[in-house]
Structure 1
């Protein structure tokens, strides 16, 4: 293997270990925080926050985060003009913050959406914090400083969760959800300005920034379409029903995302700075893309199937009885979220392959279909809408994989290897789960029952992959963090040899 390939392979392992590993740790922290929050806050609190957050998400499309992401596309990090990024950020984000405050003022004078006004005003301040924090994050990622880029978000998460729980205990309602969002980026901002002692010189050069601006505008279009669809969804739900219904919907999708839908985002987000170092459409890029898709699918499919089958037990354990309305929504929510998660991984690889406009086309298609489904199916019920999103997810995933293949970003065999083994192994694992449920009985403590069923499914899943798809499994294990130990466990004959 050429030296460059070896270097990128090592960087990929480090990226997954630090970026992916610490993101999972952060998710565990947020998961534990959620277990506390759902017992202290009401569905109306979550509904008001969800509506405000959807508006912030839409405004964030136009923030400088869309432009600074261009730094990760640069094959040579030395070409990044950080000073120009900061100057642009100061102008753009201050203006967006003022727009957010203006929208909050308008909502405050409406009857139906007044509850979301104050959360929106508070969340608007995030655009100020985003300037130094996002700049620092992208600096560290372009430098492949995985450890520092990993633990700064952990500190922000711990800080936010601690403050959020304290506010919830004191009866602060939705402010317990708003403040953690603001505090998340504070450690990175401090690291940039006080630790690294980086200072802006307010320089600007349009010729140097022109390529970044073009990339940002295109990415802005993609993100804008996605955020507009989510904002439409939130507003139609809140307008058709009430804040409590919106809160129940957001918790069903939130749980599905946390347990099954985040895998694709974690893996591709960690590996994106490495993928962009491989030449567009090269054999190396196609191999990496195939392994990324395989890792995402092999983790997402069984996780989604487990949550769908065990929805009653998982929701009862994690959310408690007052959130029982979430239970019938989980199978639909997790199926749609899983498909979109895999689709998101595919779209990220299209972007890493420098097909920015193709991403925009795909996002436009996804947004249009999503908005049509929102207006058509939400009045029929939340379950009907979630069922429609399953079809939406399947359609978008198929389209994204097809486009990635046509642009020489992945091979057809890699796509087959990503799905067929996992589907077969998941089916075998579900049979083991149902047998374990019968053997263990329904009188055992809930947490033990869930753990036993998860263990039974997981063991059979891995055994099935090892027995029926050994070469495909071996290839994935070889590039995973801790590959030597995993190889000794799964392929002892190879280790001995």
Structure 2
């Protein structure tokens, strides 16, 4: 990787990290405060609608943003074409959801979902106005500007959401928070980018971008359906309270996993795209990201599993105690999620979006089988089904990485093992220590210090080269 690209990538990682963790930090604090006021059912009602909103959002993007990033000879015509397509499609999808709202409410037997659906889904149109703006920022690896918009919108909407929760708005406090966040974020992106679309729509440009992006879109929709299928099943077969417990457990478990994955994916994709014609350099840079992910994500997920009982008691309170075990299981499942995201970026950078779609279909079939088998046994077994499905998915990704980068499956596993061993050592030490102490904030802080200390020591013994490599990256 040349020096200018390395410098740009480094800045991208720093600012992408700042954005993800500052925004998620604010959202996390807001969620803690609101969760102590609201009930699991309030969060469960919003969780029931997640799949419908997420599918619509995936359709609006249709993989065009990734297609724009990958196309090295992109022009103004491409940007304008994508912009107008997104707006028109978002309006059509909103109309469909608006009309379908009573059917959704009837499906779950929750009348309030009619009005909730019609208000929350308006965010689809709002977000459509920023798809091209985000793509432009990502192409330049400019995450600093996006951080300003995201953090500002999170702070303002968070304060308003807390105010509404304190004043008895109930589930509507969550809705208001989401809509206000979207409006402010999109508005700031328009102000900061200063790009306005021209009245251009080119059918040839649309076909060219759609040819690549459509496969990503289908894969994204399948992922969205699968990721949110559990919320539908739990809401239909069990009850809104279980949906609330699962959604809180999932949100906690994704804090380290999804955020680290998003940071690496957002920065790695443009970088890997630039190296698509140099397989040797592409392999080296891919390995760099792969090792960095393992060294970061495993100790974070291991720590979350170990301190879950303490952190739920301190942050959410005793009424959320039933969230602990699902949280621990989902952390185990999601520990391998970021590496899969990186492998998807690799395939897309190589122009293999058709392979990405094929992999996604395989993964969803396996996941669906795990869901069907575990469904009769309750919420806990549904979570264990995700662990099994994730392991199968990991090996499918490894197979195709071997095929296109000539890195054997054993070599890919070997790159993960040192981080896993170091994590086991650190977390085992925390577990032993916690058996002799009382839970509380002091124990939580000491647990984190123990994890950092023992993970660093064991990593230097087992994995010194990779630690050096991470510092260099």
Q: Is the pair's TM-score, using the shorter chain for normalization, greater than 0.5?
A: yes
Structure 1 residues 289-368: aligned runs within 5 Å? 289-368=286-365
Moved more, 200-209 or 454-463: 200-209
Kindly report which structure 2 residues correspond to 1:225-236, keeping only aligned pairs within 5 A, or say none: 225-236=222-233
Q: TM-score, normalised by structure 2?
A: 0.94
Match of 1:52 among 49, 52, 60: 49
CA–CA distance in structure 1, aligned partners of residues 408 and 177 of structure 2: 42
Cα deviation for residue 65 of structure 1 reads: 5.2
Partner of 1:155: 152
1:431–1:238: structure 2 CA closer, same or farther, 3 Å change rule?
closer
Moved more, 65-74 or 88-97: 65-74
1:467 aligns with 2:452: no
Residue number in structure 1 paired with 2:445: 451
Unaligned runs of 5+ in 2: none
Secondary structure of the 2:389 match is helix
Deviates more, 1:339-348 or 1:317-326: 339-348
Deviation at 1:131, TM superposition (A): 2.3
CA deviation after TM superposition for structure 1 residue 61, in Å: 2.2
Equivalent residue, structure 2, for 1:254: 251
Q: Structure 1 residues 249, 111: CA separation in 2 closer, same or farther (over 3 Å shift)?
A: closer
Q: 1:39 aligns with which of 36, 41, 56?
A: 36
Equivalences for residues 8-407 of structure 1 within 5 A: 8-64=5-61, 66-76=63-73, 78=75, 81-109=78-106, 112-191=109-188, 193-194=190-191, 196-280=193-277, 282-407=279-404
What SS does the corresponding residue of 1:114 show, helix, strand or coil?
coil
Q: Number of residue pairs matched? A: 473
Counterpart Cα distance in 1 of 2:409 and 2:240: 45
Q: Secondary structure at the match of 2:63?
A: helix
Q: 1:232 to 1:433 in 2, by over 3 A?
A: closer
- 8 Å CA contact 1:236–1:374 kept in 2: the answer is no
SS of the counterpart of 2:274?
A: coil
1:360-400, CA deviations, whole angstroms, 9 ceiling, x for partnerless residues?
Answer: 01111111222222233122111111111101011101111
Displacement after TM superposition at 1:195 (Å): 5.2
Other structure's SS at 1:81 match: helix
Inter-partner Cα distance in structure 2 for 1:188 and 1:250? 24
In structure 2, what is the Cα distance between the partners aligned to 1:407 and 1:281? 12
Segments of 5+ residues of structure 1 without an aligned counterpart are: 480-497
* TM-score (ref. length: structure 1): 0.89
8 Å CA contact 1:265–1:345 kept in 2: the answer is no
Q: Kindly report the root-mean-square deviation, in angstroms, between the aligned alpha carbons of the 2 structures.
A: 2.2
- SS of 1:442's equivalent? coil
SS in 1 for 2:335: helix
SS at match of 1:202: coil
- The equivalent residue for 1:431 is 428
CA contact (8 A) 1:153 1:185 kept: no
How far off its partner does 1:198 sit? 3.4
Is residue 420 of structure 1 aligned with residue 417 of structure 2? yes
- Partner Cα separation in structure 1 for residue 178 and residue 77 of structure 2: 28
Does the Cα contact within 8 Å between 1:436 and 1:456 map onto a contact in 2?
Answer: no
CA change 1:466–1:194 in 2 (3 A) is: closer
Distance 1:88 1:409 in 2: 39
